[in-house]
Amino acid sequence: MTMGKYTSVSTREASEDGSFDGFHGGFRQSMSWLHTWIGLTLSVVLYFMFVTGTTGYVQSQITRWMTPELGKQTAASTLAHSTEDMARAAVGHALNENAEWKTLYTGWPVKGSVYQDFYAYAEGHAPAEEGVEAKSLDVKFDAKTLSLKDGASGVRETGGGTALYSMHYNLHYMPENPIKIGGYEIAWATFIVGSATMFMLIAIITGVVVHKKIFADFFTFRPGKGQRSWLDAHNLSSVMALPFMVVITYSGLLFYTYEYMPSVKAVTYGYGEKAQELFDRDVYPHYSMGKIERSGTAAPIADVGIMIAKAREAWGGREPQWIDLFNTGDGNARAVVWASGTTGALTTEMWPTLLFDATTGEMLTKPEVSANPAVTVADVLIAIHEGNYAGWGLRWLYLLTGSFGAAMIATGLVLWTTKRKQKLKEGERADLGIEFVDRTNVGIIAGLLIAIAAYFWANRLLPVGIENRGAWEVHVLFITWGVMLLHSVLRPSAKAWGEQFAVAALAFGLLPVLNAMTTDVHLGETLFVTRSEMDLELASFDLVALGLGLIFARLAWKRYTRPATVKVAKQAKPVATTLVAEPAE
Amino acid sequence: MRSAHQEGRHMNTLEEAATANATGVPFARKRGRKSELTTAYRLEVASRALAAIIGGFALASAVAWLVSFGLMASGVQPRGPATSSGTVVSWLVWSGAAMWAFYARSQIAAWGWILAPAAALSALAFLLFSTVGA
């Protein structure tokens, strides 16, 4: 690049001492340096988080595909029993086991839920004698029969969509012991994910600073021009999904706010169980409003079905999905009924709750709590992050913007090396570090996508009934990613891209075929049938896989027919005139 | 103020400086050419990174304390909500501090303009806190 670029882009740099390096330049130039390096440092973690996290928006659809034994859900599918009956069965069973639980939680499927079972999870009061463990209960029931579920469910063991999307915050292979500093504790995954998220936030802010012409970027894509095209793609994917990116990142920090920024809480509440209890009561009152002292007088629990019916009426259409009971068997028994999160609309109260006196079934007014606008805002941002409220239209949009996020990081990574390789003179070889990043980029970016396809292949091909089957599906994912990384290190990147895209094309494109060969919930049963027999949710999985296969096939084809060579020739036109915001570094 | 790395860098011409920069300084080693990256430069990057991370955390904490304790001392919010309010704004302060750490003209400015306000705001915050709940 010529000097012209710098003089036209920069405002005050290149002045005084003639220093051009990153942070000694003007504001935009230093921010560009920061954007480049902070983006690169944890980009692998961020790419992994974006790709696996995006699958979370369709996690129940993925789980459905991964448990073909559950069969189709058509428009006519209904649950065999009412919500009230399921709740009664679960609570009845738990109270038969032990009349006095400290907490008894139960939840049941609503229309469209993946799993057709419900559960009871309970903990007893701490026993008087020391060394004796409190009673506990953790059981599942079949929603069709209302009876206890034994081990053999007839449904293959799978990690499903849950294991896949959970990786974006638990990173899967992480030490169990948290980091401890005094009373402060934070899980390793939480720490790493938080650091990456903080880097992301700074990368977004500096990215916006660097890219002044955001609106122009929206309409700018010049393909087939090497670095230029990568920069356009990077800008385009970032700008298209910018609001999503900002909210996803900031809310990502809000999930573990008090772990990431413990300063205030450490002073106002301190650490320890008692402090945490006080904090929860003040900040998340609805989670603990049922937790009150026992009265000591015995009293039976009223019919939970009546409380559920009252809650449904009070919400005017929102379906109750969970009931938490506290102090069962005691005069001070309380019940908290929770509404299903799927509303199709974003509200400030994402998880409405109602409080009941569980001995009478009478609705109580919730305890008076002081307004907490910060928590309200945080709750809404977190709700947007999770997307539980979203209907199918919004879910597609989430998938698209999440993919843009992944594409933004991927193109940023590629841009980093493309830019550096383009600076090379004829016959000059790239520095080892650049070469390494250039090669591993392939395994990281394309390899992860192949690894996720492998996760689905493992679901269909691993023998049903092997031990830890769900865990092995995940191992297959990471082994595949490792193999792809190894492959990418061994091959020149120009060849590796084409090869891995071809593998990705087959891995995704053939999934519907594999599905048809191994199950009876394939496209022939879910799509090419009469309308009332269709299961478009299941069909969508196969169709998206097919679509991804075609996209990767196209990318691979392009690589084979027109192999990308690093262009040594410089562009005649100074970059600055077309794109002021070119990261100057 | 000229920082240590500027003295130490082997830059003969502006042209070379521009090339080094355009290649992205830290890995801009060219074959057969002496590395343009000096230890002093690397130390400066490390120092500024620490200013961004540790200094940024200190400043973010200070602002969070000031907001929370200020809300509590003035009686606008009780302890719980005040804790939330201060905490959720801290990210923007931290990001801002990190950006400053890499923009400041010198390392002294980078550290100084982060730590000095952090100390001052913390002092003010705890002064306010001492008036709470007495």
Q: What is the 3-state secondary structure (H, E, C) of chain B?
A: CCCHHHHHCCCCCHHHHHHHHHCCHHHCCCCCCCCCCCHHHHHHHHHHHHHHHHHHHHHHHHHHHHHHHHHHHCCCCCHHHHHHHHHHHHHHHHHHHHHHHHHCCCHHHHHHHHHHHHHHHHHHHHHHHHCCCC
Please give the ipTM for the structure prediction. Answer: 0.80
> Cβ contact (<8 Å) for A374 and B90?
no
∠ Cα A418 A420 A426 (to 5°): 95
Average pLDDT over residues A168-178: 92
* Residue A308 · residue A321 · CB < 8 Å: no
* pLDDT of the residue at A519: 93
Per DSSP, the three-state class of A142 is: strand
CA distance A399 to A376: 26
CA distance A206 to A215: 17
CA distance A44 to A33: 19
- pLDDT tens-digit series, residues A283-316: 888 777 888 888 889 999 999 999 999 999 998 8
Question: Which residues does residue A140 pair with via DSSP β-bridges, in sequence order?
Answer: A119
Alpha carbon distances (Å) from A171 to A131, A176, A202, A403, B105: 35, 12, 22, 19, 38
Average pLDDT over residues B40-67: 93
Q: Find chain B residues with C-beta within 8 A of A250's C-beta.
A: 91
Nearest to A34 among B31, B82, B99 (CB): B99
Per DSSP, the three-state class of A511 is: helix
Least confident of A78-92, A228-242, A431-445, A502-516: A228-242
Q: Is the sign of the CA dihedral A571, A576, A580, B1 positive or negative?
A: positive
What is the least distance, in Å, from the CA of B23 to any CA of chain A?
5
CA distance A454 to A460: 10
Q: Give the gyration radius of chain A's Cα atoms.
A: 27
Q: Find chain B residues with C-beta within 8 A of A254's C-beta.
A: 88
Instruction: Show Cβ contacts of residue A215 under 8 Å, excluding neighbours closer than 6 positions.
Output: none
Q: What is the mean pLDDT of chain B?
A: 77
What pTM was estimated for this model as a whole?
Answer: 0.84
Q: Please, which pLDDT band fits residue A518 given cuts at 50, 70 and 90? A: very high
* pLDDT of the residue at A153: 67
Q: Find chain B residues with C-beta within 8 A of A37's C-beta.
A: 26
Q: In terms of Cα–Cα distance, which of A257, A255, A259, A283 is closest to A385?
A: A255
> Cβ contact (<8 Å) for A205 and B82?
no
Q: Find chain A residues with C-beta within 8 A of B129's C-beta.
A: 267
* Residue A460 · residue A519 · CB < 8 Å: yes
Is the Cβ of B21 closer than 8 Å to some Cβ of chain A? yes
* Residue A46 · residue A249 · CB < 8 Å: no
Alpha carbon distances (Å) from A476 to A56, A396, A445, A479: 19, 27, 17, 5
Instruction: Show Cβ contacts of residue A217 under 8 Å, excluding neighbours closer than 6 positions.
Output: A211, A232, A235, A236, A238, A239, A581
Least confident of A244-258, A265-279, A514-528, A550-564: A550-564
* Residue A395 · residue A387 · CB < 8 Å: yes
Residue A571 has pLDDT above 50, yes or no: no
